């Protein structure tokens, strides 16, 4: 018992309350899947159980002991080859027990009711499942619907094409909501239709803004989905689903931060993790915008195979973060969003806004392909062919004598600093290396200018001064039914490339061909027709 005593003493110190209790229970093989431990159902050893800070492993009989306070989630870290009970079409894992004997403070949206005294035994059922080392995982950022209408747009724009996708897992990387937390069941239900186990990550629009303490900001998320950070193993991958929304109630604002408890949880989880595993950290706010990112990177540094992914910014950025004492930078993907530019832009022929993102990229999803501890990520635009990976900007008409000064700009949506792009004019032309740069995506600037040109024209016809911001905002609201929600201002795009056309092309029609080789060596192609006149 000396080992358990030391662990429990340390746990009580971490939880930081004099009222800490000891939770005891068993993780067992639920062979008949009824969620109850029946005679003959044996315990499962070496399963990690956490209280959100500490991590202990079950003994040979599946038993564990861990310290809890009066606001604690006790949860299993799912081991590879096992699954907790699942609901919502078998997609949401019930891997936790919430201990809130007094419940949560009254807030605008639902919170966990008082759970009463700690049960004598908090048991967790697991069932054996088949998990291969090769699998595919859907990644979604920011569905973020304002209302039921936008939930329905997401159904037709994004989720329908996921229904028959060959995938094994899915994840939504925060901002399930747009502040209206009554829509949690709708978004959970949409993901449930896909029919694969689904991770949910909390975002800044998913929290309780009326919470008076930082720790209470995730109360409604807990009501629907359980602990707001956790871990799970699948195949040779350890997933860390993290909460980096640090609510500051006095300032009524948030910042990107994990906090000491969560960093301790990650440290204690990784202490039990196979060093050969791929570690995938999922979060909402991009890692480079987190105040305590170095603490997380330090924990990831000893592992040879790591990757992290976020959403939040409504642009896509395949970036690399330097890690002290590490041979290579850490790869972080700031993913495109499902709602694009917050469901902005004019309506298309289906009645859904085109919602181009501020980097000129379309909304959509990504697929992470995993083979053992190796991975690559594939971008997929909503309702577009799978090979739509770039937008080529060039004039419709080029004078032959001006060709050498004519710039072609390529927006390679999922491009990174490790991508290589080349361009040629017609199949007989020589390949010309393209230069990567940061700037405004031409396709987004075009759409933004078109929208604002329409508003200015209507203002002119209505006798409204376009410099009157208040009057223009009122005009845009009145026109929204017909024009859609306006696009936000453009932002610099980190995935643009440019090159000049070859000199003196012959008069007539030509094809600009672009080949892009991404960071994994996969080739993507694009074409654009251009007309040349002498």
Q: Give residue-wise pLDDT tens across range 76-126.
A: 999 999 999 998 777 899 999 999 999 999 999 999 999 999 999 999 999
In this structure, the dihedral spanned by the alpha carbons of residues 224, 230, 231 and 232, taken in order and rounded to 10 degrees, is -20
What is the C-alpha separation between 361 and 315, in angstroms, rounded? Answer: 7
Q: Answer yes or no: same fold for 2-127 and 390-441+492-533.
A: yes
% of the chain at pLDDT higher than 70? 96
Q: What are the structure tokens assigned to 478, written together? A: 């009145």
pTM, two decimal places? 0.94
Task: Report the pLDDT averaged over residues 505-531.
Answer: 97
What are 199-236's pLDDT values in tens digits? 999 999 999 999 999 999 999 999 999 999 999 999 99
Weakest-pLDDT range from 25-34, 281-290, 316-325: 316-325
> Is the separation of the CB atoms in 291 and 182 below 8 Å?
no
CATH of domain 131-381: 3.60.21.10
Q: What are the structure tokens assigned to 493, written together? A: 């795009």
pLDDT tops 60 at residue 3: no
Task: Report the pLDDT averaged over residues 465-477.
Answer: 94
What are 386-408's pLDDT values in tens digits? 999 999 999 999 999 999 999 99
Q: What are the structure tokens assigned to 274, written together? A: 């196979």
Q: What are the structure tokens assigned to 257, written together? A: 């931060």
pLDDT tops 80 at residue 16: no
List all residues 6 or more positions away from 303 whose beta carbon is below 8 Å from its beta carbon: 270, 273, 275, 277, 279
> Is the separation of the CB atoms in 84 and 78 below 8 Å?
yes
What is the C-alpha separation between 497 and 125, in angstroms, rounded? Answer: 52
- pLDDT at residue 19, rounded to an integer: 59
pLDDT tops 50 at residue 478: yes
> Is the separation of the CB atoms in 410 and 390 below 8 Å?
yes
What are 307-359's pLDDT values in tens digits? 999 999 999 999 999 887 666 789 999 999 999 999 999 999 999 999 999 99
- pLDDT at residue 123, rounded to an integer: 97
> Is the separation of the CB atoms in 190 and 154 below 8 Å?
yes
Q: How remote is the C-alpha of 328 from its chain's centroid?
A: 23
| Closest by CA position to 157, among listed 390, 356, 445 | 356
- pLDDT at residue 323, rounded to an integer: 83
Residue ranges of domains in the chain: 2-127, 131-381, 390-441+492-533, 452-483
Alpha-carbon Rg of the chain, whole angstroms?
Answer: 26
Homologous superfamily (CATH) for 2-127: Immunoglobulins (2.60.40.10)
Write the class of the CATH domain 390-441+492-533.
mainly beta
- pLDDT at residue 327, rounded to an integer: 62
What are 443-457's pLDDT values in tens digits? 999 999 999 999 999
Task: Report the pLDDT averaged over residues 126-130.
Answer: 96
| Closest by CA position to 335, among listed 377, 386, 392 | 377
- pLDDT at residue 10, rounded to an integer: 42
- pLDDT at residue 467, rounded to an integer: 93
What is the C-alpha separation between 123 and 421, in angstroms, rounded? Answer: 55
């Amino acid at each position: 018992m000396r080992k358990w005593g030391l662990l429990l003493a340390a746990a009580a110190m971490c939880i930081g309350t004099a009222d800490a209790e000891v939770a005891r229970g068993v993780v067992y093989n639920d062979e008949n899947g009824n969620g109850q431990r029946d005679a003959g159902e044996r315990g499962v050893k070496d399963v990690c159980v956490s209280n959100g800070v500490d991590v202990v492993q079950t003994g040979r009989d599946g038993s564990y002991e861990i310290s809890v306070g009066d606001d604690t989630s006790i949860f299993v870290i799912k081991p590879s080859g096992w699954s907790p009970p699942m609901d919502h079409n078998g997609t949401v894992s019930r891997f936790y027990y919430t201990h809130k004997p007094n419940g949560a403070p009254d807030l605008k949206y639902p919170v966990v009711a008082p759970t009463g005294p700690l049960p004598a035994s908090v048991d967790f059922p697991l069932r054996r499942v088949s998990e291969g080392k090769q699998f595919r995982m859907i990644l979604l950022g920011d569905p973020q619907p304002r209302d039921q209408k936008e939930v329905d747009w997401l159904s037709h724009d994004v989720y329908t094409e996921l229904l028959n996708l060959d995938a094994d897992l899915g994840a939504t990387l925060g901002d399930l909501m747009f502040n209206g937390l009554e829509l949690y069941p709708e978004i959970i239900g949409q993901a449930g239709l896909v029919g694969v186990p689904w991770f949910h990550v909390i975002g800044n629009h998913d929290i309780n803004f009326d919470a008076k303490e930082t720790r209470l900001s995730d109360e409604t998320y807990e009501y629907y989905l359980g602990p707001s950070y956790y871990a799970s193993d699948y195949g040779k991958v350890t997933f860390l689903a993290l909460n980096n929304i640090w609510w500051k109630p006095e300032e009524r604002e948030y910042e990107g931060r994990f906090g000491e408890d969560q960093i301790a949880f990650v440290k204690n989880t990784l202490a039990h993790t196979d060093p050969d595993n791929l570690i995938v950290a999922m979060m909402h706010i991009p890692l480079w915008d987190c105040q305590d990112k170095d603490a997380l990177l330090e924990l990831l540094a000893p592992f040879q195979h790591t990757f992290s992914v976020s959403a939040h910014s409504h642009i896509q950025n395949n970036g690399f973060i330097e890690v002290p004492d590490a041979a290579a930078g850490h790869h972080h993907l700031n993913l495109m969003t499902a709602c694009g530019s917050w469901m902005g832009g004019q309506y298309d022929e289906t009645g859904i806004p085109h919602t181009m993102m501020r980097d000129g990229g379309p909304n959509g999803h990504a697929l992470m392909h995993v083979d053992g501890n190796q991975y690559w990520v594939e971008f997929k635009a909503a309702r577009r062919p799978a090979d739509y990976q770039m937008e080529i900007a060039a004039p419709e008409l080029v004078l032959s004598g001006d060709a050498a000064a004519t710039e072609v700009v390529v927006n390679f949506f999922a491009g990174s600093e490790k991508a290589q792009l080349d361009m040629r004019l017609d199949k007989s032309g020589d390949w010309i290396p393209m230069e990567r740069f940061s700037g405004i995506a031409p396709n987004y600037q075009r759409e933004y200018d078109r929208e604002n040109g329409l508003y200015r024209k209507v203002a002119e016809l209505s006798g409204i001064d376009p410099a009157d911001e208040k009057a223009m905002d009122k005009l845009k609201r009145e026109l929204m039914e017909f024009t859609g929600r306006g696009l936000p201002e453009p932002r610099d795009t980190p995935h643009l490339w440019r090159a000049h056309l070859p000199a003196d092309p012959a008069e007539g029609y030509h094809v600009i061909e672009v080949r892009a080789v991404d960071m994994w060596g996969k080739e993507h192609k694009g074409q654009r027709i251009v007309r040349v006149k002498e």
